[in-house]
Structure 1
Amino acid sequence: MVVSKLLGAILVMEIIVMSGTRFGAVDGLRMDYYMMSCPFAEIIVKNTVNTALQSDPTLAAALVRMHFHDCFIQGCDASVLVDSTKDNTAEKDSPANLSLRGYEIIDDAKQQLEQQCPGLVSCADILAMAARDAIFFAGGPVYDIPKGRKDGRRSKIEDTFNLPPPFFNTTQLITMFGQHGFTVQEMVALSGAHTLGVAQCSSFKNRLTKFDSTNDVDPSIDSNFAKTLSRTCSRGDKAEQPFDGSRNSFDNDYFNSLIRKAGVLFSDQTLYTTPKTRGIVNSYAMNQAMFFLDFQQAMFKMGLLDVKEGTAGEVRGDCRKIN
């Protein structure tokens, strides 16, 4: 297993190096974007992330989720980091984003970078690097990403309807991810990010009572696990349920949970109840190295969604405010 994971990591690094060259020509992003202008940028971000996660390992899931919620709305442009003002309600105040956290980690890294190389490192790049470093800290795959994203100038609550809700079925997930250019396999791989973190009761309580006209409880849930979820919800809508048994470890346990009918969200379990995606779930459950390889390639691709370049964006001095 160790050897296969090592070979997988070597293979994916070769893929990423080649992809980086190709995307560099298309998107203006480069692996070495800050090499001359801010050579310690990546080290500063990594050290900031590692320090925060050593104090609170649960923040790894938070950073990955924040990056996902950023990229799916207006592209990877740090729009999710912008604070609301009296004239504008920003993305972060959408119901879908109220449970996001870890903003202070991005702020900390940004402040250090502004001292070292003012006006050069975008908040969008910091968030992308922070998510990557959080995945590695939690035991996930190591991979590199191209840099050079600019920060967007728009952050509006009405844009967040494009985030996949927890009650989506597989067909709806395939459609939504497909609109962003992802294959079915990539969608399932990205869903594996739920190997980290928790869900609040409000996201899954609809599965426990009056599920549909035929069933009180979602029939795709194991009966004992349904009782576990009910006990969690007895503590209120904000009570938290880990997605799998190792909430702070990046592994393939999430997929094994789906096979046991112990997916927390309907949008999790649907990946196993649907024949079109069941085989992918089984493959990842049996082969963690395969999951890691597919996940890092999908994350690499996600980090390139609708990136802003040149005058289409800016480098914010404060990640919470548009210049």
Structure 2
Amino acid sequence: MNFHDCFVKGCDGSILINSTSSNQAEKSAPPNLSVIGFGVIDAAKAAVEQMCPGVVSCADILLLAARDAVATIRGPYWKVPTGRRDGRVSTAADALANLPPGSANISSLKAAFASKGLSSIDLAVLSGAHTIGVSFCSTFTNRLYNFTGKGDSDPTLDTEYVTRLKSKCKPNDAVQTAEMDPGSFKTFDSSYYSVVTKRRGLFESDSALLNDAVTKAYVKSQATKRGPTFFKDFAKSMEKMNAIEILTGNNGEIRKHCAFIN
């Protein structure tokens, strides 16, 4: 949610806004349909509003919750300066235009990150967030069954892994999920990079990290080092991402309810 918010009009909590009869908001865009946790943010906002109404933005709460969630599952801890204000605009079109899809190649990934002031190293580091969580089979089954339209599999995927995924994900399955970091998807660690080096990255965007000298070098360094720098690097990259196009002062607002513009 942190990434999906900050990459669209900056870190302004716009992903939290509900759609209306006259506007399809960011959360209704296909890349965001699998994003969960809105209830957690709403509950935190309600509790904060009881203590100090109209002071803490939904944007700040979202970023603080993301940081604390990672720290809770043994991940790194980073600084989250507060004082952001909430955006008043949220459209599905903006989400589609700014969020790189799981099918993105390395060139489009680097361009998307560069447009937000993030480097190729930031791309490799933040992709490591895939060490936790699951994905719906429907987001990657084209890699298993019909990659080029000829009923084939993506040749960049390890063949044994393809077989394993096919046993779990059938064609057109919109319900079943798969772990992004098998065996470690509930613990924040650097094992994602070992997965990618074995050609078992779940998305094309994971595999794409091996198609650039800089990102490939980072992936390999984190997969092989005894004491990888991933935690320190992730904290640094998150702090950079959390500063994208923030609203302060008279810009934006402090929403009373995160799902609704005041």
Provide the TM-score with structure 2 as the length reference.
0.94
Residue 31 of structure 2 aligns to a residue whose secondary structure is coil
Report the counterpart of residue 241 of structure 2 in structure 1.
Answer: 302
Equivalences for residues 1-323 of structure 1 within 5 A: 66-161=1-96, 162-212=98-148, 216-234=152-170, 236-244=173-181, 245-287=183-225, 289-323=228-262
Residue 30 of structure 2 aligns to a residue whose secondary structure is coil
In structure 2, what residue type is equivalent to 1:166?
G
Would the alpha carbon gap of residues 214 and 272 (structure 1) be closer, same or farther in structure 2, given more than 3 Å must change?
farther
- Segments of 5+ residues of structure 2 without an aligned counterpart are none
| Aligned 8 A contact 2:121 2:214 in 1 | no
The percentage of aligned residue pairs carrying the same residue is: 43
Provide runs of 4+ in structure 1 moved above 4 Å: none
In structure 2, what residue type is equivalent to 1:93?
S
Report the counterpart of residue 13 of structure 1 in structure 2.
Answer: none
Q: 1:237 offset after TM fit, Å?
A: 2.6
| Aligned 8 A contact 2:78 2:238 in 1 | no
| Aligned 8 A contact 2:12 2:84 in 1 | yes
In structure 1, what residue type is equivalent to 2:103?
F
1:288-308 per-residue CA deviation (whole Å, 9 max, x = no partner) reads: 541111111000011111000
For 1:93 and 1:289, the matched residues in 2 are separated by: 37
For 2:93 and 2:107, the matched residues in 1 are separated by: 24
Aligned CA-pair RMSD: 1.5
For 1:321 and 1:282, the matched residues in 2 are separated by: 44
Q: 1:152 offset after TM fit, Å?
A: 0.3
| Aligned 8 A contact 1:122 1:316 in 2 | yes
Looking at secondary structure, tell me which structure has more helix per residue.
Answer: 1
Which of structures 1 and 2 has the larger relative contact order (alpha carbons within 8 angstroms, sep 6+)?
2
Would the alpha carbon gap of residues 278 and 304 (structure 1) be closer, same or farther in structure 2, given more than 3 Å must change?
same
| Aligned 8 A contact 1:220 1:273 in 2 | no
| Aligned 8 A contact 1:94 1:160 in 2 | yes
| Aligned 8 A contact 2:123 2:215 in 1 | no
Q: 1:201 offset after TM fit, Å?
A: 1.2
For 1:163 and 1:143, the matched residues in 2 are separated by: 23
For 2:48 and 2:35, the matched residues in 1 are separated by: 23
Q: 1:274 offset after TM fit, Å?
A: 3.8
1:268-317 per-residue CA deviation (whole Å, 9 max, x = no partner) reads: 01112444421110111134541111111000011111000112111001
Report the counterpart of residue 46 of structure 1 in structure 2.
Answer: none
* Aligned residue pairs, count: 258
Q: 1:70 offset after TM fit, Å?
A: 0.5
Residue 145 of structure 2 aligns to a residue whose secondary structure is coil
For 1:285 and 1:202, the matched residues in 2 are separated by: 28
Provide the TM-score with structure 1 as the length reference.
0.77
